Structure 1
Amino acid sequence: MVVEDQVSGTIVNEEIPDATFESTEVDSGFRFFVENGFANKIRKSTSEDSIIRASFFSGMGQNLGLVEKTKIVAIHKNLNPSCSGKVRAQSFQVFAKAVADKRGGDANLKYAWYGASRDEICEILIHGFSWYRKAAGNIDCSRRCISLSPAKFSFDSVLSSEVDETGLRHLLLCRVILGKQEVVTDSNQFHPSSPEFDSGVDDLSAPRKYIVWSAYMNSHILPCYIISFEAPYLRDSKGLLEANTIQPRSPWMSFPKLISMLSRFLGPSDMASLNKQYADFQEKKITRPQLIQSVKEIAGNQLLAAVVNLYINEELQVSSSRRSSK
């Protein structure tokens, strides 16, 4: 309870306190991070380590099965040792002060998660966030914004991570300047709708996505930690997709439910495409196989399988609760 209080009162709104964390040992498995600025692995059981771990696992939701199957292997801290790293950190402070001055003293700084492949994370460490990302089929696609998950929703970013050749996945825990936020519903929006706003959000009262426009992605987002973890349940769930789990009239999950759950993880542009494909299917403009193929291309097999697995786990938990209450 003490740690959870620290998480809710520290990582969500304040700074994570430094601890005695420095290690002179360099694990060869993490040399790619160490060589790019994350020079120290935080020691276990320090306050810094405990707060980050508690936030990560509390963000996995109420499903104890997922938590039990997930293991944090290492947490590395960004010390910004390079010249470019120092400049980015200083720039972040300058912009935070500028937004605070504009917003009556509150820059609305938050911690947020960003999930990606190890290669993309390494690129971010070296060069910063990019205007392009790898989509389905390993195709470069331009993007209008960077979407991050609030500190208490780490699982949303876990689904965006990719397993590397060692079996690990990686998340960035970033400090983000949000300022005044606006709800983003237009998939074609690529900047604030007016100077009144600084960033976007999917829901003002209960956000699951922080949206930072591409023009601000390297001034308003500062990577602070890399969390490396094992999540075998994501690999185990791949076979679910090819069964009958995403058929429109599946006994497991309907398309409307699938689309609703995918909205937690996909950006406005992808959701607009997904909704259009489903509308075309309802109007009989495309066939069921064409719809399924479109959903796979938009969301990707890995995200689809993980969402289906999450849904099944939630349904099993609800059923178990109902049986125990009888």
Structure 2
Amino acid sequence: MCISSSRMEARIQNEVQAEMSDETCSSSNLSSIISSSVSEDHRLFSKLGLVRLNVDDEEHVRLKHRLYTSIGSLAQHCSVEAIYRNMHSSPSGRASLESFRLFLKATEQKRNGNANVVNGWHGTSKDGIRRILSNGFGMNGMPEDGVPQGFGLYLYSEHSAVESVLSSAVDVDGLRHILFCRVILGNSEEVPPGSRQFGPSSEKFDSGVDNMQSPTKYTIWYPHVNTHILPLYAMSVRVDFHTKGTQTESLRKPSSPWIPFSSLITVLSRILPPSQMCLVRRYHSDYMEKKISRKQLIFQIRQVSGDKVLISAIKSFQDKQTKSACPSPKYSKN
């Protein structure tokens, strides 16, 4: 998914440049600061029942790739410094997990077996993660900037992670922190921009969304925030417009048979074993960070999957596109 809105990119860029204007560091000093801050976070998060994932683990590669494909072109300005899995091993963590399970079952019973469980991103701060994992989600009130959509806790859909990055606070080390959560939506209703709604409009609904057809923003009402949201991972991300995106390439669509990388990876994930998909996602993440060129990415994917599989994937995608473009035949009743 590509982010075409220049407003989003400009907003992050202005924030980062404002922070960097008062301080300049050599690359060695910056490296030392990053290492120190991540180590400090590691000690803090370990006490909260979080386990840091190794960068070579398939789980780490998958989560990093999921974030980058969600934020699109902003990936070239981002680097994932650390990913932590929530083990729910602390007393509050175990209570949170048990509450989520109970309310998942209750929502399924209330909504004819469909609890409508989705993934969601929540931007916060390092202290926010500490408070959430220790005491649960609190009441933040209406947002100071942006347009409110109800008096509740906001999360963003799996394909709208850029919003969670925008809403996260930059700490003294220049890191942003986001949570990847499972969310019980139940039966959702559309909450219009500017709404001051503070709960479901009727017993028929459980949560709010910004758009019923293609929701990107979820509103979980405050009575439900600690029973309908389960934090699974915490991610520490750095946004830097000074050192990223040094490579530039044409965005012109290839004239030969082609398939978007996101669609290609979806097709390949049904064919290739996890170990090979881990490599494919790693190379694609490097490409989105502008560490390698498109040509290098294609070469690496060919090496991993082989040309036969790639040709088959492209043909399958092209056939599906052709079928979806053709209108269904209409039959008249005689």
Deviation sequence 1:224-258 (CA, Å, 0-9, x none): 1001111023999xxxxxxxxxxxxxxxxxxxxxx
| Percent of aligned positions that are identical | 38
Alignment partner of 1:211 is 2:219 = yes
Gaps of at least 5 residues in structure 1 are 1-25, 138-142, 237-326
User: 1:46 aligned to 36, 49, 57, which one?
Assistant: 57
For the 8 Å contact 1:172–1:225, the answer to whether it is kept is yes
Between 1 and 2, higher relative CO (CA 8 Å, sep ≥ 6) is seen in 2
Give the letter for the 2:229 counterpart.
I
Higher alpha-carbon Rg: 2
| Counterpart residue type for residue 42 of structure 1 | L
Alpha-carbon shift at residue 136 of structure 1 (Å): 5.5
Give runs of aligned pairs for residues 249-264 of structure 1, distance below 5 A.
none
Other-structure match for 1:35: 47
Q: Within 5 Å, which residues of 2 pair with 1:50-61?
A: 50-61=61-72
1:47-196 residue pairs with structure 2 within 5 A? 47-61=58-72, 63=73, 66-132=74-140, 144-185=151-192, 187-196=195-204
Please give the alpha-carbon distance, in whole angstroms, between the structure 2 residues aligned to 1:136 and 1:92: 29
5 Å-filtered alignment, 1:233-272, equals 233=241
TM-score by length of 1: 0.58
SS where residue 71 of structure 2 aligns?
coil
2:187 touches 2:207 (CA, 8 Å); kept in 1? yes
Letter in 2 for 1:50: V
Aligned-partner Cα distance in 2 for 1:85–1:234: 38
* TM-score (ref. length: structure 2): 0.57
In the superposition, relative to structure 1, how do residues 71 and 159 fare at CA in structure 2: closer, same or farther (>3 Å)?
same
- In 1, the alpha carbon distance for the partners of 2:120 and 2:178 equals 10
Work out the CA distance in 2 between the residues paired with 1:134 and 1:103: 29
Structure 2 stretches lacking a partner, 5+ long: 1-37, 245-334
CA distances 1:143-190 after superposition (whole Å, capped 9, x unpaired): 820010001111010001111122211100011000111001262211
* RMSD of Structure 2 on Structure 1 (CA): 2.4
Match of 1:202? 210
Q: Secondary structure of 1:195's match?
A: coil
- Taking the aligned partners of 2:170 and 2:110, their CA distance within structure 1 comes to 41
Q: CA deviation at 1:43?
A: 1.6
Are the aligned partners of 1:108 and 1:177 in contact in 2 as well (CA < 8 Å)? yes
